[in-house]
Amino acid sequence: MLIALLIGSGLLVLIIGLVGVGHGVGKTRESPPTIVIDMHEGIEFCAQALPDDVTAVISYDQLRHALRLHLEWVQAHHYAPDSTDETPIVFEEYDALGYFMERADITRLDISADHAARIIEAHSSYLQVMGAIHLEDPVKAQADLNEMPLLGTGEDQTN
């Protein structure tokens, strides 16, 4: 009787463990792949992508600082919630630049708005190449929206 109780207890523990591990593996499988951003690679990518008039006045340390400010904005404003019920967050093109310039002033990064915009554009390209963000062409997105039928009517929006 004692042996049957020990075997039953052992099987119960084993089943509970397998269910727990299975649940953890299932959650991990559902999560998006982790993307590791190499800061040195990002700096090199952006330095090569930036025009000569920007790289002539921006040092690598300033570029590193600028990329950190842009990453700060991406992290703060593009947080993806665990729940898929949330609607996507949409920002205007200049939201990043406004945030960047405000933070640059606070952190004493001396950079012009034009140079900052070019750095943000280059860094966004790098993040898109790495698969960290997805940026849609606004012209294509507007064209797609124009081709969609009105809700509940079946009519084309362009009529």
Q: Which domain holds residue 79?
A: 39-137
Domain count, the chain: 2
Same domain, 21 and 58: no
The whole-model pTM stands at 0.61
Mean pLDDT of 91-102: 77
Residues 92 and 56 in one domain: yes
Question: Are residues 54 and 129 both part of a single domain?
Answer: yes
Per the rule left: phi > 0, alpha: psi between -120 and 50, beta: everything else, 61 is alpha
Residues of the chain with pLDDT > 70, as a percent, come to 71
Predicted confidence band of residue 37 (pLDDT cuts 50, 70, 90): confident
> Do 7 and 60 belong to one domain?
no
Mean pLDDT computed over 89-109: 80
| Pair (97, 119) in one structural domain | yes
Identify residue 39 by its one-letter amino acid code: M
Across 124-151, average pLDDT: 66
The answer to whether residues 57 and 104 belong to one domain is: yes
In a domain, 83, yes or no: yes
- Averaged confidence pLDDT in the chain: 79
